[in-house]
Structure 1
Amino acid sequence: MPFRLTISGVYASALCPMVFTTLRFAITTESRGIMCDEICLREDALLIGRAPIHPGEFLREDYMPELGLSVAGLAKRLGVTRQTVNEIIREKRGLSPEMCLRLGRLFGTTPQFWMNMQQKVDLWNSMELHSEDIKKVAPLEVPELAKAVG
């Protein structure tokens, strides 16, 4: 069960234990070799304890089989090459904003649905790649107001 904490509109949902300290959270979990310490949360922050689902996997496992779409069929409907669709469903390529618009139109979803899924993957991959550099960034001290909330 994910942990959820709400403080003045700021929330975090994660699959790991959290310790509250003046709007800073210390995460003591190791997931795919990443250690995260003191991640400052904002309204748009995302903390997850496992790798998010790539939009290509979602297409491959959920949409395409349910709708009986092949790679060629999906490519034709989207107006792109089979290679493009193949690279997306094999998770070798991310979704561009244009592709999110196309997928949203085709499946009757919003482009933001697809963009959000891709953004979670991008953030996860970036954290994996740059976790040591990110840990070196010293967070700003939170004003007294934040201490009053806790």
Structure 2
Amino acid sequence: MVNELVSKEHPRQRLIFFVAEDVDDEKRAAVKKMITDLAPQRKWVIGPPSFIDVVDDATSREGDEQDETLGGIHEIYSAYSPNDLPREVDLLHLAEVEQIVRAVQRLSLEQGIEFEFELDGRFVGAIENGDMDSTLQQGLLGEWHNHLA
């Protein structure tokens, strides 16, 4: 159904959510489980979020800790002008992102992990101890709701 509403060439955006503190094996396992558990919970427009665990060796010097990105990535169709995204698809993407945010909130609260969110490399908010900051709550999600109202 969605495939009929959006062309294969429609631009996509990447929502990345990642641990914003030191990473250890316990956090790695918890984040991987959260993302694995999300996949079967719904029919995703493009696909479920994917687990990412990337070490950037280029940023580290000998003896330094390596820069690691641990979290997830979720693709959505772009609704930024001049792209015309059908409202039904935009609503589905909003529901997907809200489901991801709720899962991250639970994990953050349970494990005390701080997360940050980026959309195409631009900071769009954070969650600490289960609480969304205003950038995520009012900026990304609030404005998205307003746009669709």
Query: Who wins on radius of gyration, i.e. which is larger?
Result: 1
Instruction: Decide which structure has greater strand share.
Output: 2
TM-score normalised to the size of structure 2?
Answer: 0.28
TM-score normalised to the size of structure 1?
Answer: 0.28
